[in-house]
Amino acid sequence: MGAGRLYTAVAAGGFRRYATYRAATAAGVFTNTAFGIILVYTYLALWDEKPHLGGYDQAQAVTYVWLGQCLYATLAIQGGGAEKDLMERIRTGEIAIDLYRPADLQLWWLSIDLGRSLFQMLGRGVIPFVFGAVFFPMALPTDAATWAAFLVALLLATLVSFGIRYLVALSVFWLMDGMGVSQALAITGIFFSGMTLPLNVFPGGLGEVVRVLPWAALIQLPADVLMGETAPLGAYVFQGAWAVALLAAGRLLQTAATRRVVVQGG
């Protein structure tokens, strides 16, 4: 089997695996929709007091909310993607089996995560987004080119998200347990990605810092591309640079980690 077919099959396996959790998917759709409604009314009240906050009008703010709910599980904003399984395999020592596979470790887990992301987008993300578009005023583009540009930004966001989470997972080679780093990932993900508030709302120096961190590539930039608030090329350069940097860092850390594999319990 060629490398392309191998990783495509791995991605398809990741998609099928998450597709089996139908009850969890239905619960996720309900949760994201409920939280979306709560956030929308919170945003509307805030934008009533501060019109054009962060450069958005109310329709754009509402669009941002529903896009965030759509991408929450797709991009594993607070963790819970393929890195969770990788951490467990490192902790138990099963990673040794993975290292003997005739496949690249990073590409293997990236393929799994891409399959997971695609399912979470279709199975859990689309319904809340469509619900928002039906029941709330949203600033959505009418031309196919903008939607295509958004999909490219979304793909790059997926790579950046994996890059962050892969580095976190590899830290378990040294820490021996992923509980602490998983909690740190959840906190940083929800805050720095703009899941709570758009990053362009953050004031002063804090705003300047959060907008250059890799988490800005996850929700803020895809949202701005979708709503025509930023040029797609500039967004792609930012996202692509972080994707390359994070994946390269993951490759280096992987090399260092696999030189000192410790299998717990023998």
Q: In this predicted structure, what is the pLDDT of residue 9?
A: 94
Mean pLDDT confidence for 143-152: 97
- pLDDT tens digits for 73-121? 999 999 989 999 999 999 888 888 888 888 899 999 999 999 999 999 9
pLDDT of residue 1: 57
Q: What percent of the chain has pLDDT over 70?
A: 97
Nearest to 64 by CA among 54, 73, 76: 54
pLDDT of residue 266: 42
pLDDT of residue 20: 93
Tell me which of 259 and 41 has the higher pLDDT: 41
Q: What is the mean pLDDT of the chain?
A: 93
Total residue length of the chain: 266
Q: Residue 265: pLDDT above 50?
A: no
Long-range Cβ pairs for the range 95-99 (8 Å, 24+)? 95/261, 96/261, 96/263, 99/258, 99/261
% of the chain surpassing 90 pLDDT: 84
pLDDT for 25 equals: 93
Express each pLDDT in 158-191 by its tens digit.
999 999 999 999 999 988 888 899 999 999 999 9
How far apart CA 107 and CA 170 sit, in angstroms, is: 14
Q: What pLDDT was estimated at residue 98?
A: 87
pLDDT digits (tens, 9 = 90+) for 27-81: 999 999 999 999 999 999 999 999 999 999 999 999 999 999 999 999 999 998 9
- By the 10 Å C-beta count (0-12 exposed, 13-18 middle, 19+ buried), 142 is classed as exposed
Residue type at 258? T
Question: What is the Cβ-side half-sphere exposure of residue 224, based on CA atoms within 13 angstroms?
Answer: 24
